[in-house]
Amino acid sequence: MLFLVTVLGLLLPAQVFWFRAGWRAIQRVRSPRWNLFLRILLGIAAAGLIVVLADRIFGHFIPHQGPWLWVVTAAHLWLLPSFFAFLLVKLVHALEWVWVTIFQSRRKASGAPVDLARRSFFRYAASIAGAIPLVAALYGYAKERFQYTVRRVDIPVASLPDVLDGFKIVQLSDIHIGDFMPRNEVRRAVDMANKLGAHVAFVTGDFITDEHDPLEACVAELSRLKAPLGVWGCNGNHEIYADAEEKTQELFRKYGMRLLRQESAPLRWRGGEINLIGVDYQREHLFESGLPPMLTAIEPLVRRDVPNILLSHNPNSFYRAAELGIELSLAGHTHGGQVRVEILDHRVSPARFITRFIAGLYALPMSGGTSRSFLYVNRGLGTIGVPVRLGVAPEITLITLRANGQIGESGDKRDEKT
């Protein structure tokens, strides 16, 4: 609740700004009928936004289906992009103020006329800047959100038996079934994963977004994953928020899968063995000291006679995993940033604020040896906050373990489905 109130406090100035801008634009309409119609339309839009926000804060009291789902979708597509549009417009206004204050004052002092063309330029620039986030959001919602991509990764694993060379893992993560991830899209992702012929399937958390989402429907679709060694998973942070950690574990058991919670299990294939470890979401203690590090409870679960694979939703547990000698960690959580843009050859991603492990393959030296520990961060299927993906395709990962192979990672566009 505190988080939502904080977010609202940040979004409110932007909504007031855009409402006033809309009202001023309507006042310039000379036709009384059109003026009245647009005022009513603006009032309906504002009321719809307030209802959706109240629904989000106080629990779902409006039906998230039919026409109401379109209202919910429009509100989510508007809120955050309009905030960034507001910031960009204010940035242009600030640049205009600097220009007027410094350069125009010099022109007046010299007796030169005021440069009206420059002021027109700033007005147009503000309009364009304000439109960019909104147009990008619409594109990311309509075009890229369901462009599932299969990424193939070869990972050399220390002490991997030769008989397990070529062992294949399919990984899904961050499903977030609900308003913006319908069940049929989860089914399509599972069908794509089944075509990859993996030996085992892993799902690394965030099956839902909140307690109102259809958790059992998600688990039922995931149970359609086909792999000789079964389907395994771990909880994410949204299972905590929804108070659904135990329920998720029960549903996994009901549908013939297994969700590991501070547990380990052996995976045996062709005479070789891998120790699989799964943990609940590893919380971070950003503002507290004297608390135990991540993964403390799993130290007894780490084996030295066989390779270890860790399912941990939070990629920041990788530091501790490498210290413990875990050869491979699989995570999600970041959505790859969900939105990624390039500015002057630099990639900018919101996930940078929470981790250095944004997406893809990473390596750290393992404690007490010359081998390396690897982490793969899946970009996820669903979305959070705003139902948009830009420059970060939803991902299905096929990982191939190598005994003495080279590291390789690719996004195979031939497997991309639009």
Same domain for 163 and 124, yes or no, is: no
The beta-strand segments (E) located in 63-158 are: 148-156
Q: Are 364 and 342 in contact (CB under 8 A)?
A: no
- 122-170 pLDDT, tens digit per residue, is 888 999 999 999 999 999 999 999 999 999 999 999 889 999 999 999 9
Q: Are 374 and 160 in contact (CB under 8 A)?
A: no
Average pLDDT over residues 262-272: 96
Average pLDDT over residues 334-344: 82
pTM for this model (two decimals): 0.89
Q: How far apart are CA 280 and CA 36, in angstroms?
A: 55
Same domain for 122 and 183, yes or no, is: no
Percent of the chain residues past pLDDT 90, beyond the cut: 75
Q: Which domain holds residue 340?
A: 148-282+298-417
> Tell me, what's the pLDDT at 3?
57
Same domain for 222 and 358, yes or no, is: yes
- 230-245 pLDDT, tens digit per residue, is 999 999 999 999 999 9
Span of 29-43, 202-216, 310-324, 341-355 with lowest mean pLDDT: 341-355
- Report the chain's mean pLDDT, rounded to a whole number: 89
Query: Of the residues 144, 163, 189, which one is the last residue of a structural domain?
Result: 144
Same domain for 162 and 88, yes or no, is: no
Say how many domains are in the chain.
Answer: 2
Residues with Cβ within 8 Å of residue 60, at least 6 apart in sequence? 212
User: Is 50 exceeded by the pLDDT of residue 47?
Assistant: yes
Pairing of strands 308-311, 346-348: unpaired
Same domain for 258 and 136, yes or no, is: no
Same domain for 206 and 311, yes or no, is: yes
Name the pLDDT band for 346 (thresholds 50, 70, 90): low
> Tell me, what's the pLDDT at 418?
29
Same domain for 133 and 188, yes or no, is: no
User: Is 80 exceeded by the pLDDT of residue 368?
Assistant: no
Q: How far from 325 is each of 76, 157, 182, 321, 407, CA to CA, in Å?
A: 43, 12, 39, 6, 19
